[in-house]
Amino acid sequence: MEIMSKLSERLKELMFDCGQIKSEALAARLDVSGPTVRRWLNAQADINLENAVKLADFFECSIDYLAGMSEVDHKVTPRPLPPFYENLRKVMAECAVTRYRLSKDVVADVFFTKWAHGVEPLLCTVCKIAQYLGVSVDYLIGRTDY
CATH of the domain at 122: 1.10.260
The total number of structural domains in the chain stands at 2
60 and 103 assigned to the same domain: no
Which residues face 122 on adjacent strands? 48
Global pTM value: 0.93
What angle, rounded to 10 degrees, do the helices at 23-30 and 49-59 form?
A: 110
118 and 62 assigned to the same domain: no
Residue among 11, 74, 137 nearest 22 (CA) = 11
- Average pLDDT on 5-12 reads 96
pLDDT digits (tens, 9 = 90+) for 81-95: 999 999 999 999 999
Predicted confidence band of residue 7 (pLDDT cuts 50, 70, 90):
very high
Q: Is residue 108 part of a domain?
A: yes
User: What pLDDT score does 33 carry?
Assistant: 96
Q: Is residue 146 part of a domain?
A: no
Range of the domain at 50: 2-66
Q: Is the pLDDT of residue 68 over 70?
A: yes
Q: Is residue 75 part of a domain?
A: no
3-state secondary structure of 48: strand
9 and 59 assigned to the same domain: yes
103 and 47 assigned to the same domain: no
Residue 115 near residue 121, CB atoms below 8 Å: yes
6 and 57 assigned to the same domain: yes
3-state secondary structure of 104: helix
Predicted confidence band of residue 1 (pLDDT cuts 50, 70, 90):
low
91 and 62 assigned to the same domain: no
Q: What is the 3-state secondary structure (H, E, C) of 13-39?
A: HHHHHCCCCCHHHHHHHHCCCHHHHHH
**CATH code at 42?**
1.10.260.40
Report how far residue 4's alpha carbon sits from residue 88's, in angstroms, rounded to the nearest whole number.
22
CA 25 to chain centre: 21
pLDDT digits (tens, 9 = 90+) for 12-41: 999 999 888 999 999 999 999 999 999 999
User: What pLDDT score does 74 carry?
Assistant: 78
Q: Is residue 77 part of a domain?
A: no
Residue type, 128: K
Q: Last residue of some domain: 66, 92, 114?
A: 66
Q: Is residue 115 part of a domain?
A: yes
CA 69 to chain centre: 11
pLDDT digits (tens, 9 = 90+) for 101-144: 999 999 999 999 999 999 999 999 999 999 999 999 999 999 99
Residue type, 102: L
- Average pLDDT on 48-69 reads 95
